[in-house]
Amino acid sequence: MATMEETTSTASSLLRRRGINPGDRVFRGVMIALSGLVILILVLLTYQLLHDSLPVWQAEGLSFIWSSTWDPPKDVYGALPFVYGTLVTSLIALILAAPVAIGAAVFLVEYAPPQFAGPIAFMVELLAAIPSVIFGLWGLYVMAPVMRSVVEPFLKNSAGKLPVVGGLFLGPSLGRDYLTAGTILAIMILPTVMAVSREIVRSVPDTQREGMLSLGATRWEVIQNAVLPYARTGIIGAIILGLGRALGETMAVTMTIGNSSRQISPSLFTPGYTLASGIANQFNEAGTGLYFGAIVGLALTLLVIAFLTNLVARILVKRTASGPVGATV
């Protein structure tokens, strides 16, 4: 209805208002029906996950999310180990990927000759086109052995001796644990964070750079004081967008995280589960009853976490891309 009231000069709406051609009405109806189906799929998805996980919410209440006992034979379900694994691996991925991705984005916009920037960006973005299961295959047979025999012993002997952070690097190095899964995730989200950061850095107006340069600043001082502060909100958005991808990754994580331990331990050398890998690993045993509801409950929890993350990221990226945020131009 609101569309009819709007004053607009486009020819389409003029014609629509006068209803010149009945074909137009049919065509518009078909387009609306197709759009409606897209909306319906989202509604149905949310409804089905809510409906099928209802038994587990009734049985466990909200403690489903923060209870740490997951014991299918006794029909006790607490999703905390899964939530914890999801957050830990995603955080590792962010810490490893964000500096590299932002650095690469800065290089592409500020340093690279224009004729190279496109091809380099294309090659890094090709990483995003590699299927998750192939990262899993590579992680399992190439990276995990290196982590087990080189990286993890090194970390244990260096950082493991420090007072507080040392607790992160305890225990036998297995090669299939939180750290390996997080590292694989870092490689997978690198292209996402880089591509969005590149757009953001590119949208910083040249006047910002010129003002700083005219004061005699070096190239890096321009980036540090004029470019990055301006782009900060958008870059945070890009990182959160990467987080959104890392949270839901399944196959690569399932193949490298170990899927064996159920207790929560501070060490990154512990095999564990994420929400996604838990679903992939256990759905086949969870045909009926409360177990089925619990697996659907994991999916619903993951959906909610991913939705909120993506929402925040979208808002931040849009705000920067559409103009200055609190910056004086």
Among 85, 242, 244, 271, binds another protein (CB under 8 A): 244
Closest CA to 247 of 314, 303, 315: 303
Among 11, 62, 164, 329, binds another protein (CB under 8 A): 11
- Determine which helix (DSSP H) or strand (DSSP E) holds 211, and give its type and residue range: helix 206-213
What is the size of the binding site for another protein (CB under 8 A)? Answer: 100
Residue pair 67/78 in contact (Cβ under 8 Å)? The answer is yes
Task: Show contacts with another protein in window 163-202 (CB under 8 A).
Answer: 187, 190-191, 194
Which residue bears the tokens 């799929």? 41
Among 239, 257, 276, 294, binds another protein (CB under 8 A): 276
User: Interface with another protein includes 137 (CB under 8 A)?
Assistant: yes
User: Interface with another protein includes 34 (CB under 8 A)?
Assistant: yes
Residue (173 or 256) nearer to another protein, CB: 256
Q: DSSP class of residue 74?
A: G
DSSP lists the bridge partners of residue 76 as: 71
Structure token pair of residue 151: 């990286």
Query: What string marks each residue from 83 to 112 as x (binds another protein by CB under 8 A) or -?
Result: ----------------xxxxxx-xxx-xxx
What single-letter amino acid sits at 40? L
User: Interface with another protein includes 299 (CB under 8 A)?
Assistant: yes
Instruction: Select the span of 4-12, 66-74, 158-166, 265-273 touching another protein (CB under 8 A).
Output: 4-12
User: Interface with another protein includes 138 (CB under 8 A)?
Assistant: yes
User: Interface with another protein includes 28 (CB under 8 A)?
Assistant: yes
User: Interface with another protein includes 221 (CB under 8 A)?
Assistant: yes
User: Interface with another protein includes 317 (CB under 8 A)?
Assistant: no
Q: Sign of the CA dihedral 52, 133, 308, 41?
A: negative
User: Interface with another protein includes 134 (CB under 8 A)?
Assistant: yes
Radius of gyration for the alpha carbons in the chain, expressed in angstroms and rounded = 25
Which residue bears the tokens 């006794």? 74
Residue (95 or 215) nearer to another protein, CB: 215
Among 80, 130, 312, 327, binds another protein (CB under 8 A): 130
User: Interface with another protein includes 150 (CB under 8 A)?
Assistant: no
User: Interface with another protein includes 122 (CB under 8 A)?
Assistant: yes
Task: Show contacts with another protein in window 50-79 (CB under 8 A).
Answer: 52
- Could you give the C-alpha distances from 283 to 27, 211, 245, 270, in angstroms and in order? 43, 58, 22, 23
Question: Which class for 58: exposed (0-12), middle (13-18), buried (19 or more C-beta within 10 A)?
Answer: exposed
Among 17, 27, 75, 260, binds another protein (CB under 8 A): 27
Which residue bears the tokens 């090659």? 123
User: Interface with another protein includes 142 (CB under 8 A)?
Assistant: yes
Residue (159 or 311) nearer to another protein, CB: 311
Buried b (16+ CB within 10 A) or exposed e, 186-217: bbbbbbbbbbbbbbbbebbeeebbeebeeeeb
User: Interface with another protein includes 290 (CB under 8 A)?
Assistant: no
d(CA 311, CA 228): 23
